[in-house]
Amino acid sequence: MEKRLQIGILGLGVVGTGVVEILAKEGQKIKEKTGVELVITKALIRPGEDKVDFAKQHSLQLVYDIKDITEDASIDVMVEVMGKIHPAKEFVLAALTTGKHVVTANKDLLAQHGTELVQTAVKNHVSLYYEASVAGGIPILRTLANSFIADEITEVLGIINGTTNYMLTQMVEQGMSYEDALAKAQELGFAESDPTNDVDGIDAAYKTVILTRFAYGTDIAIDDFVVRGIRGIGIEDIELAKTQGYEVKLIGMTKKVGTGVFAEVAPALVPVHHPLASIRNEFNGVFIRSTGIGQSMYFGPGAGSLPTATSVVTDLAVIAENQGDNKPAPQFVDYRSEKIFADPKDVFSAYFVAMELTDDPQIWQEIKEAATGFAIAYRELENQVTAAGKRRIVVMTEPCSEVQRHQFVSAVEKIEDTKITQIMKVMEE
């Protein structure tokens, strides 16, 4: 009955040290519940990292060569929390191939190479878990995998990047500029020194890829959909949205339309009474629309050492729990639906469109005719001359299709000295 699983961990950074600490604290409870003792025996670090005291304190052997883990038959599970694609991918494949279960927090890796990794896990009869990769401390992937089995998910909307949500909250609540908000996020350690992946929506896009798999079993790639971040977003648009009863949030959206999937990462207008509107600062939230439950939302910290490490250790506890089953090692989720994209004609949304044009009624007339030509109804939210002597016009459209939107945008872009400075989907209540 009494069993012991030995673990090798790659990386003793923010998450890695948290994993060691959480397991030291909660290991006994997990043993009582599962009958399995989880013990981290080895940690891979870089030569030169000063982890000797930490290792001594937790009885870890420090190693510098991955083979000391992947080729050690006494290690049953590998935890990858070093990040980046290479060599993490090769290390994870090596572990899976030698019959070790793997737990990772690496969203980049799972979003880009998930299929290959999962196939390798299945072939080698081991489990691959990555709860921490989306919305850090929120148990969203396990919830999607386990608690929606009797339901049909139709839409997932996620505030899944803490840095940008922190920035948007500071901009709207403190009237901060984009630059000041970014500086403050960096100061507080939310944003990396190179914040590109956060502010350009790439981090959110990786998570949207993973959420799409868990929601629909469909394997999309980051190149399959539009990804826009919050770089250069204007405080004036955020404030105007607010007067209309909306918060601007960076949303990772994945929607089932007919038999197809529509995904997008972009800033969007969320009605103030929508549950996502109340997600402030660095917190994350994942909102799910489904035919059975209807609306549900899961809120919590998207990052941080302890929350993220807690998700990793929960994955380890699930592996412990599965020991002794006479069934194949369970996979986190089955995904195997064909990649079918929604027809853009069938994907509808209202839009907030901010435009800057030469202050000439003739030009505005042309834009209005373009809208009418593509059957887009709208109302004006703002129409005024800017300090630079341009005319700024902001409209809110009635729901129109992706096709209509694209037609309208390209028509406007063809008009001289006219540009769309911001276009955002308007979410439903």
* Active site (annotated) includes residue 184: no
Which residues, including other chains, have CB under 8 Å from residue 413's CB and lie 6 or more apart?
Answer: 419, 420
Distance CA 322, CA 120 (A): 19
Give the nearer residue to a second copy in terms of CB position, either 48 or 294. Answer: 294
14 binds, among ligand NAP, a second copy, none (CB under 5 to 8 A by kind): ligand NAP
Beta strands in 140-231 (DSSP E): 153-159, 226-227
Token code pair at residue 395: 């409209």
Looking at 207, 249, 255, 256, which residue is catalytic? 207
How far CA 401 is from CA of 211, 223, 306, 322, 340, in Å, comes to 24, 21, 43, 46, 18
Task: Give the nearest distance from C-beta 415 to ligand NAP in angstroms.
Answer: 43
| C-alpha span between 202 and 194 (Å, rounded) | 13
Buried b / exposed e across 396-429, counting CB within 10 Å, b at 16+? bbeebbbebbebbbebbeebeebeebbbbbbbee
Residue numbers at the binding site for a second copy (CB under 8 A): 22-23, 25-26, 29-30, 33, 137-139, 142-143, 146-152, 273, 275, 277-280, 283, 290-301, 304, 306-307, 309-311, 313-314, 316-318, 324-327, 334
Rounded CA separation 238/104 (Å): 36
When the beta carbons of 207 and 391 are compared against ligand NAP, the nearer one is 207
DSSP string, 47-104: TT---HHHHHHTTPEEESSTHHHHT-TT--EEEE-S-SSTTHHHHHHHHHHTT-EEEE
**Identity of the residue, 44 or 241, whose beta carbon is nearer to ligand NAP in the bound complex:** 44
Among a second copy, ligand NAP, none, partner that 316 touches (CB below 5 to 8 angstroms by kind): a second copy
372 by Cβ neighbours in 10 Å (0-12 / 13-18 / 19+) ranks as: exposed
Q: Which residue, 82 or 233, is less far from ligand NAP as judged by CB?
A: 82
With tokens 């506890």, the residue in question is 317
Nearer to a second copy, 32 or 223 (CB): 32
Minimum Å gap between C-beta 303 and a second copy is 11
- Least spacing, CB of residue 244 vs a second copy, in Å: 18
Q: Which residues sit at the interface with ligand NAP, rule CB under 6 A?
A: 11-16, 44-46, 81-83, 87, 105-107, 132, 136, 303-304, 308
Beta carbon of residue 302, minimum distance to ligand NAP (angstroms, whole number):
7
Q: Which residue has the tokens 């469109």?
A: 353
Nearer to ligand NAP, 109 or 257 (CB): 109
Q: Specify the residue for token string 């043993």.
A: 31
Nearest Cα to Cα of residue 279 among 297, 307, 255, 299 = 299
Q: Tokens representing 116? A: 């290959």
- For residue 16, the partner it binds in ligand NAP, a second copy, none, with Cβ less than 5 to 8 A by kind, is ligand NAP
Q: How far is CA 315 from CA 214, 321, 389, in A?
A: 16, 10, 58
Q: How far is the C-alpha of 319 from the C-alpha of 330, rounded, in Å? A: 9
What are 109's strand-pairing partners?
none
Q: Say which entry of a second copy, ligand NAP, none residue 138 contacts (CB below 5 to 8 A, set by partner kind).
A: a second copy
152 binds, among a second copy, ligand NAP, none (CB under 5 to 8 A by kind): a second copy
Shortest separation between residue 37's beta carbon and ligand NAP, angstroms:
25
| CB closer to a second copy out of 212 and 310 | 310
193 binds, among a second copy, ligand NAP, none (CB under 5 to 8 A by kind): none
Tell the smallest beta-carbon distance from residue 88 to ligand NAP (Å): 7
Q: Report in angstroms how near the CB of residue 119 gets to ligand NAP at its nearest.
A: 21
- Residue 303 interacts with which of a second copy, ligand NAP, none, CB < 5 to 8 Å by class: ligand NAP
Catalytic site residues? 207
